């Protein structure tokens, strides 16, 4: 037979800290924008074809990317873990875009 403590908590949802939902909402608003924009810029740089075609395809893919990020943010078990992943991926994709950009663009972005 199940213990009394297990029976009492069986129907209850797991408790989450009070800051988890505001963190997820803030991350969904700002983190999604940051990660989507850096990944779209990287995709536009990496996709084959003319610059115009690559930019258009990357822009169309950005809607699916943003939707996936928002679903991931709210489906993740830990708000802090998904925050770390989103910020880390944002830095990684932005850094890759920076490294793949021509030298004149990098110089213009610095000053």
Residue 19 has pLDDT above 80, yes or no: yes
Q: pLDDT value at position 110?
A: 65
For range 27-48, the mean pLDDT: 94
Q: Binning pLDDT at 50, 70 and 90, where does residue 69 land?
A: very high
On average, the pLDDT of the chain sits at 86
Rounded Cα–Cα distance for residues 46 and 18 (Å): 41
**82-86 contacts at long range (C-beta below 8 A, 24 or more positions apart):** 82/24, 82/27, 83/23, 83/27, 83/31, 86/27, 86/31, 86/32, 86/34, 86/35
Local structure of 38: helix, strand or coil: helix
Rounded Cα–Cα distance for residues 102 and 97 (Å): 10
Q: pLDDT value at position 81?
A: 93
Q: pLDDT value at position 44?
A: 93
Each domain of the chain, given as residue ranges in start order, spans 18-110
């Amino acid at each position: 037979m199940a213990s009394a403590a297990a029976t009492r908590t069986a129907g209850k949802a797991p408790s989450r800290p009070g800051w988890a939902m505001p963190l997820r909402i803030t991350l969904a608003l700002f983190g999604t924008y940051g990660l989507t924009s850096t990944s779209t810029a990287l995709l536009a740089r990496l996709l084959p074809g003319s610059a115009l075609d690559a930019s258009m395809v990357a822009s169309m893919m950005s809607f699916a990317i943003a939707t996936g990020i928002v679903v991931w943010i709210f489906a993740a078990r830990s708000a802090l873990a998904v925050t770390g992943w989103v910020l880390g991926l944002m830095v990684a994709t932005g850094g890759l875009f920076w490294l793949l950009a021509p030298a004149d663009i990098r110089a213009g972005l610095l000053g």
